[in-house]
Amino acid sequence: MLLLIATLAISAIASAEVPPTEYVTQIFEPTGGKISRPKDWFYSESHNSRAYRWTISREDASGGRPYTTGVRIQTFVGVKDGTGKTAKQFILDFAAAKAKQATVINSCPESNQGLFSRICLETEEGPYHILYSMFWGTSGMDVAIVSIAGTTKELWETYLPTFNVMSDFELIDMKRFEK
């Protein structure tokens, strides 16, 4: 009986979620930006004329497959032409809509980050815990960015350190476009 209990305890420890500790640099194409990606996680991207989308996830999200844990960064260009709204209004409307649909845990006020201004919204949506970081271009730059870090409520604390590492991303390598 004691051996059975010890075996079950070891099995439970072995199956516990462990956050990544090793990262590699992932380049965003076509912008040349970069992010620290957990070494064993997946990377996928899709783009069209007005939007760029990069997904880094624990599960393979290629081809639009669903995933449980990861970060998705969506960049929208030509927002005014596409929506009739400024990039800032587009982001503020997006945040307001999310706040109505979800349980808001936390939010952060507008902060200037150089080329972009940022707000954030942390929510619970059904079984998920999600942090939205939303940006819009300053100085008339018609660009909006939504970064979504999320997982299940049960796994949030486990993967929060990973999301914090991944929140320090560079969207565009300006040197690539200086030529």
Residue 9 clears pLDDT 60, i.e. is over it: no
List the domain range (segments joined by +) for residue 54: 2-177
pLDDT digits (tens, 9 = 90+) for 136-173: 998 889 999 999 999 999 999 999 999 999 999 998 88
Task: Kindly report the pTM of this predicted structure.
Answer: 0.87
Mean pLDDT of 125-138: 97
- DSSP secondary structure string for all residues of 85-146: S-HHHHHHHHHHHHHHHSEEEEEEEEEE-SSEEEEEEEEEETTEEEEEEEEEESTT--EEEE
How many domains is the chain partitioned into structurally? 1
CATH number of the structural domain spanning residue 137? 3.40.1000.10
pLDDT digits (tens, 9 = 90+) for 26-65: 999 999 999 999 999 999 999 998 999 999 999 999 988 9
